[in-house]
Amino acid sequence: MERGYVVDNNAELLALEQVVYDVVVVGSGIAGMTVAIELDKRLKVALLSKAGADEASTYKAQGGMAVAVGADDSAEQHIMDTLNVGQGLCRREAVSVLADEGPSALEFLLQQGVAFNKNGAAIALTREAGHSLNRVAYHYDFTGRHISETLFTKVKEKDNIQQLTNYFVVDVLTQDGQGCGVIAIKDGKLVVLLAKALVIATGGYAGIFASSTNSRAASGDGIAALYRAGAVIADLEFVQFHPTAFCAPDDTVFLLTEALRGEGALLVNAAGHRFMPEYHPAAELAPRDVVSRASVKEIERLGRPVFIDCRHLEKKYLADRFRQVYTKLTEYGYYLEKDLVPVSPAAHYSAGGIRTDLWGRSSVQAIYACGEAAATGVHGANRLASNSLLEAVVFGRRVAKDINNQLPSKQLVTTLVLPGNNVACPNGDLLRLGVELNRAAGVVRSGAAMTSLLAAITGMSKDGFDGDLGKYTRKVNAFQLAKLLLQAAIARQESRGTHFRSDYPEKNDEYFQRHILLQWGKGVWLE
């Protein structure tokens, strides 16, 4: 198997002290914490995080978790809505797993102490785009933060889990085509953690775009490391843009949850005209790609922002139900009950990532992926709103189950050699890269702009190594992801879901109802 490394293949590295675990879980958002909690308590688990919990996309998730538990709902209906939004590219079996196991995933979270809002005795359900009925369980408008804090408390109670914070994984180790550990940086020093199984739950790459609802930490580090380790990567071209991001004058990009529109908020253009009914029968609750493209069109047409309009909703209700968003906006002088608030689309979620099977297994033995880092096939060309938290729990639990079943028979690999090529780091600026990605590969893309950006990145000279391996690796990863994303988006010469090309505005089912895959040493292909 061909592969690459950022670290130097040198004797010094191989001589480092090796700390041995049964399982190393990289990433401590909802997916990583679910895996760790569900692993057999006899297993020694390391749960790594590179930054504080508030940097993780889980923490920032506002809307909630889609789950078919409403009186009029069914797994079949949830499946239909997911397939519909995914535009012909969802993997049917994965969507069935997601919807069928949704109620027990909800039960798991309730058992951990997650307090979803209630309507009398029942879980309250709100509406979001693309759902044919109310299906989203929530905790006010900070569902992700609440889940994250609740699971964190549970993780701390488990004696078999060692939480390792501020560990940044540079490379994943493989031996004879099997994952066997990670090389991480802690306090500027390299450490080697060996394990029988590795779980990559490092989140997505929407943070490499300049305008993003994610933190900059969402830079696809785990996906890039697995790409170097030879894993198959899928669907990278599908980056979802959330239509209602508030871009503050201080450059803060803050999500205004879709649940606002689910509860009646409207979108108006700079002339005060409600435009969405002209674009889609579901108006403000059309799938996100439709709302984002319509907003871009209105912004370009009138040369001014579009606005979210909640003025017909009561202040008391808005300030309670949407307490996080409400308070944040007041810091910038906006009051939802009386002001139109300017919004624009921002990169929000990456549907692509490490391709897995239904048990979260990547194409490299003993390496699993789950959450936004994975491409389970659930989302297809566009993700149904609030399916992401559900996917993380459902497939995180499956990963743990598979590891619990397989691990006793696994041998630990302890003799390390690092075959493979070193990866060069382009001498470019990450902020500039983000701006260029927004321009060339944003809501509306064109082959010419993407090809010229890819050529510019490929033609960059090699960056010198200044001794800061963490910074260097982040840069390698962001440029790696940008290149792969551009390669995939250039290859997909059609428009589908979140991927809209001005030069190929139609869907082409005949040729492109397939996935675009990438692998180190193998290039790009369709399957």
Annotated catalytic residues are: 288
Between 5 and 322, CB nearer to ligand SIN: 322
Least separation in angstroms between residue 259's CB and ligand SIN is 6
Euclidean distance between CA atoms 166 and 138, whole angstroms:
29
Tell which residue, 425, 429, 433, has the closest CA to residue 462. Answer: 425
- Listed in sequence order, the DSSP H helices in 206-314 are 221-228, 258-262, 288-302
Tell which residue, 48, 17, 66, 85, has the closest CA to residue 351. Answer: 85
The HSE-up count of residue 450 (CA atoms within 13 Å, CB side) is 25
List the x/- string, 19-58, binding to ligand SIN by CB under 6 A: ----------------------------------------
Tell which residue, 399, 403, 402, has the closest CA to residue 370. Answer: 399
Applying the rule CB under 6 A, the residues between 341 and 360 that interact with ligand SIN are 349
Only segment of 89-97, 360-368, 381-389, 495-503 that touches ligand SIN (CB under 6 A): 381-389
Least separation in angstroms between residue 334's CB and ligand SIN is 18
Contact residue for ligand SIN among 148, 215, 257, 295 (CB under 6 A) = 257
CA 308 to chain centre: 25
Q: Can residue 388 be called a binding residue for ligand SIN (CB under 6 A)? A: yes
Ramachandran angles phi, psi of 74, nearest 5°: -155, 160
Between 202 and 257, CB nearer to ligand SIN: 257
Between 378 and 469, CB nearer to ligand SIN: 378
Least separation in angstroms between residue 125's CB and ligand SIN is 14
Q: Can residue 428 be called a binding residue for ligand SIN (CB under 6 A)? A: no
Euclidean distance between CA atoms 148 and 33, whole angstroms:
8
The HSE-up count of residue 29 (CA atoms within 13 Å, CB side) is 29
Least separation in angstroms between residue 257's CB and ligand SIN is 3
Only segment of 4-12, 306-314, 352-360, 385-393 that touches ligand SIN (CB under 6 A): 385-393
Only segment of 47-55, 271-279, 333-341, 383-391 that touches ligand SIN (CB under 6 A): 383-391
Between 73 and 128, CB nearer to ligand SIN: 128
Q: Can residue 442 be called a binding residue for ligand SIN (CB under 6 A)? A: no
Between 37 and 66, CB nearer to ligand SIN: 66
Q: Answer for the pair 195, 22: CB distance below 8 angstroms, yes or no.
A: yes
Ramachandran angles phi, psi of 134, nearest 5°: -70, 125
- DSSP count for the chain of H helices, then E strands: 17, 26
The HSE-up count of residue 260 (CA atoms within 13 Å, CB side) is 33
Only segment of 161-169, 257-265, 359-367, 373-381 that touches ligand SIN (CB under 6 A): 257-265
Tell which residue, 489, 427, 421, has the closest CA to residue 459. Answer: 427
Between 62 and 363, CB nearer to ligand SIN: 62
Q: Answer for the pair 472, 212: CB distance below 8 angstroms, yes or no.
A: no
Euclidean distance between CA atoms 65 and 144, whole angstroms:
9
Name the β-bridge partners of 182: 172, 193
Q: Can residue 258 be called a binding residue for ligand SIN (CB under 6 A)? A: yes
Contact residue for ligand SIN among 27, 29, 32, 63 (CB under 6 A) = 63
Euclidean distance between CA atoms 135 and 480, whole angstroms:
37
Question: Strand 197-200 and strand 23-26: pairing?
Answer: parallel
Least separation in angstroms between residue 478's CB and ligand SIN is 22
Only segment of 12-20, 178-186, 229-237, 255-263 that touches ligand SIN (CB under 6 A): 255-263
Least separation in angstroms between residue 203's CB and ligand SIN is 13
Euclidean distance between CA atoms 64 and 66, whole angstroms:
7
Between 63 and 360, CB nearer to ligand SIN: 63
Q: Can residue 386 be called a binding residue for ligand SIN (CB under 6 A)? A: yes
Contacts with ligand SIN, residue ranges (CB under 6 A) = 62-63, 257-259, 349, 385-386, 388
